[in-house]
Amino acid sequence: MGTIINGKELAEKLQQQTASEVKALEAQGIRPGLVVLLVGEEGPSQIYVKNKQLAAERIGLRSKVMRYPADVSELELLEAIETFNDDPAYHGILVQLPLPKHIDEEKVLLAIDPHKDVDGFHPLNLGRLFAGVPETIPCTPYGIMKMFEAYEIELAGKRALIIGRSNIVGKPMAHLLLAADATVTIAHSKTKNLAALAREADILVVAIGQGNFVTQEFIKPGAVVIDVGMNRDANGKLQGDVNFAEVEPLASFITPVPRGVGPMTITMLMQQTVEACRRQELGE
Ligand code: NDP
């Protein structure tokens, strides 16, 4: 039987710590601010942004959501980013992805002041992470590292397999695990004999976006299994990339979906907004 990593509980604890930091900053007349730019009126992004806004309010951040219609021009979006780059009230700027096809995502990410890029997606921040001198780290893999820390899961010398190679989850996860001295492999849709490869892993992180994909034949007994996936089944119910019922008895630690990785992602966003504020206001 595996220990179920309670991401929700850990997230609440860390958010309380961040809220105390916000209070301490306020006593010095400083209020950390986060602005979220949301394009379009439909899709899961609405829920993600709502949750981010609620968390920001809960911990006492100045929080603003800028909403734009789905047909907003790239130029208008870039100009808005420029305005917030120059606005000292906002220490963090987040553009909710994905963007509509007519907008160049890379151009938009590049326009954000890297010091205000609290999502850690700006190429400069990704480059810093890959070079081993991170400033802001993509929130999902960062939250997973906090889980390893909280549950005292040893990483040094362990074999880690990450399934999925996106810039926002898989690749930064690989670099964080590498920095923690794990021996890292990244798998993707062209990987051959994936289940056999996965059975060699002490640490398995799955971020592919396919419900219940990872079954018991992927698991080395005693492995640590982290499920990043957020998928909807036919009834609209949230489902991870890992078949929890099959895998949980084999794993030493496992994250559930929901109440696993998801709440940690938002928590790291809040924390990195406060850190960005400290750097901008106090030169830390
Ligand atoms: P992407 O779609 O950007 O990347 C998916 C990756 O998975 C790709 O590298 C792809 O390979 C790989 N992949 C897809 N199918 C397979 C397969 N059958 N076998 C092996 N590899 C496969 O996804 P994201 O990284 O953005 O997100 C992944 C999942 O995590 C989604 O469910 C998303 O909703 C969730 N997510 C959850 C977050 C949270 O806070 N909990 C935050 C961010 C994402 P290839 O490159 O070859 O195409």
Atom 12 in ligand 1: which residue has the minimum CA distance?
Answer: 164
CATH superfamily of 28-113: Leucine Dehydrogenase, chain A, domain 1 (3.40.50.10860)
Is there a catalytic annotation at residue 119?
yes
The secondary structure of the chain, three-state, reads CCEECCHHHHHHHHHHHHHHHHHHHHHCCCCCEEEEEEECCCCCHHHHHHHHHHHHHHHCCEEEEEEECCCCCHHHHHHHHHHHHCCCCCCEEEECCCCCCCCCHHHHHHHCCHHHECCCCCHHHHHHHHCCCCCCCCHHHHHHHHHHHHCCCCCCCCEEEEECCCCCCHHHHHHHHHHCCCEEEEECCCCCCHHHHHCCCCEEEECCCCCCCECHHHCCCCCEEEECCCEECCCCCEECCECHHHHCCCCCEECCCCCCHHHHHHHHHHHHHHHHHHHHHHCC
Query: Mind listing the pLDDT tens digit for each residue in 80-99?
Result: 999 999 999 999 999 999 99
Query: Mind listing the pLDDT tens digit for each residue in 116-161?
Result: 999 999 999 999 999 999 999 999 999 999 999 999 999 999 999 9
This prediction's pTM: 0.97
Whole-number Å distance, alpha carbon 36 to ligand 1 midpoint, is 23
Domain ranges for the chain? 28-113, 139-261
Per CATH, is 139-261 categorized as 3.40.710.10? no
Whole-number Å distance, alpha carbon 118 to ligand 1 midpoint, is 21
* Residue in 96, 239, 271, 280 annotated catalytic: 96
**Average pLDDT in the chain:** 97
Compute mean pLDDT per 10 residues along the chain, 284 residues long, and list them.
94 98 98 98 91 96 97 98 98 97 97 98 97 97 98 98 98 98 98 98 98 98 98 94 98 98 97 98 94
Ligand 1-lining residues (CB < 6 angstroms): 140, 163-166, 168-170, 187-191, 194, 207-210, 228-231, 261-262, 265
